[in-house]
Amino acid sequence: MKNSKSIISIAKETILTESKAIANLANLLDTNFEDAVNFILNSNGRVIVTGIGKSANIATKIVATFNSTGTPAIFMHAADAIHGDLGNVQENDVVICISKSGNTPEIKVLVPLIKNYGNKIIAITGNVDSFLGKNADFPLNTFVEKEACPNNLAPTTSTTAQLVMGDALAVCLQDLRGFSSKDFAKYHPGGALGKRLYLRVADLIKNNETPKVSINDSVVNVIVEISEKRLGVTAVLDTNKLVGIITDGDIRRMLTKTTDFSDFTAKDIMGSNPKTIHKDAMAIEALDKLESNSITQILVVDDKNNYVGVVHLHDLIKEGIF
C-alpha cells in the first residue's frame, strides 16, 4: 500500500507531466491555428465537434465552452455519425474532429463522408501525419510525449492537451467577436455566476425596508427604527438630504460610554459622510465596497443622491454572490 508521501509524489509527477505537455502546445501552434480561427469566425454555420472514446468526452466540453462564449456548436459522436447522426452536419458547418492517433476506424470512415459534403475539417490530433491529420483542412497539433498514466496507456496528458487546444480556439473567437461580460451574462442567467454579471443593487433592495430618521430624532427613536427595520442600520436625513448613518454598532459603543442618552439626538451619534452606492450599480460592486471598507451594510442612492435603501451583506449571501 502506498504511503502518503508516495501518493503526493505520484500526484506531483502527474501534474508536472501534463503541465509540461500543455506548455509545449504553444510551440506547436502554426498558421493552421490562425486559419482555423478565421474560418470559423467568417463561417455562416455552426461548429460540429466530434470524437470517439475519451476524445468524445473532451468534445462535449469544447462544445459547452464554444456555446457559452458566443460560437454556436453541437456535439456529434463519431460512431453515431456513421449510423445516422451525420445528418446533423449542415452545408455551412465547420467540423472539428478530435483524435489522438488520427487513425481510428470510425475517423477513417467519417472524414471522407464529411469532405464529400464539402464541409471543412479542423483536426485536433496528436499525430498530424495520421489519416485525420493529412485529410484535415486545418490540422492542429496536440502531440504529447507521454501520458501521465504510469503505463503510458490511459488518455490523460493527451486529452488535457485536446481540451486546452479547444479552449484556445474558443477564447480567440470570443475575443475576435468582442464577446463582452454582458453577452456572457445572457448565456449564464442562472446561478451565482449569472447573478454576478446581471444582478444590480436595485434588485437587492426592492424587498428591504428603508430605515431612516431625522437628524434631530431622539436616540430612542433611532433604536426603535433600527430594531423594527431589521437591517442593523438607519440613514440619517436633514430634511430630505442624506447626512449620516447610524449602525447597531454605534448604539453599542454609545452604551459603553453612558446609559443616560435622554438628551442625545441622531446627530450626536451618527457617522458623517456615509459610504453609498448607486442603485444601478452591479451587486458585485456592492460586495467589493463592503469588503474594502470592512462593513456589512451600505446605503443606496439614486441619480440625485437621494437615499433609497440599504444593501446588507446578507442580501448578497442570499443571492449566492458572496
Annotated binding site for Zn(2+): 77
Beta bridge partners of 100: none
Distance between CA atoms of residues 191 and 144, nearest Å: 37
Cβ-count burial 96-125 (b if 16+ within 10 Å, e if not): bbbbbebebebbeebbeebeeeebbbbbbb
Distance between alpha carbon 235 and the CA centroid of its chain, in Å? 35
φ, ψ for residue 96 (rounded to 5)? Answer: -105, 120
Give the per-residue SS3 of the chain.
CCCHHHHHHHHHHHHHHHHHHHHHHHHHCCHHHHHHHHHHHHCCCCEEEEECCHHHHHHHHHHHHHHHCCCCEEEEEHHHHCCCHHHHCCCCCEEEEEECCCCCHHHHHHHHHHHHCCCCEEEEECCCCCHHHHHCCEEEECCCCCCCCCCCCCCCHHHHHHHHHHHHHHHHHHHHCCCCHHHHHHHCCCHHHHHHHHCEHHHHHCCCCCCEEECCCEHHHHHHHHHHHCCCEEEEEECCEEEEEEEHHHHHHHHHHCCCCCCCEHHHHCEECCCEEECCCEHHHHHHHHHHHCCCEEEEECCCCCEEEEEEHHHHHHCCCC
In Å, the largest CA–CA distance within the chain is 91
Binding residues: 77
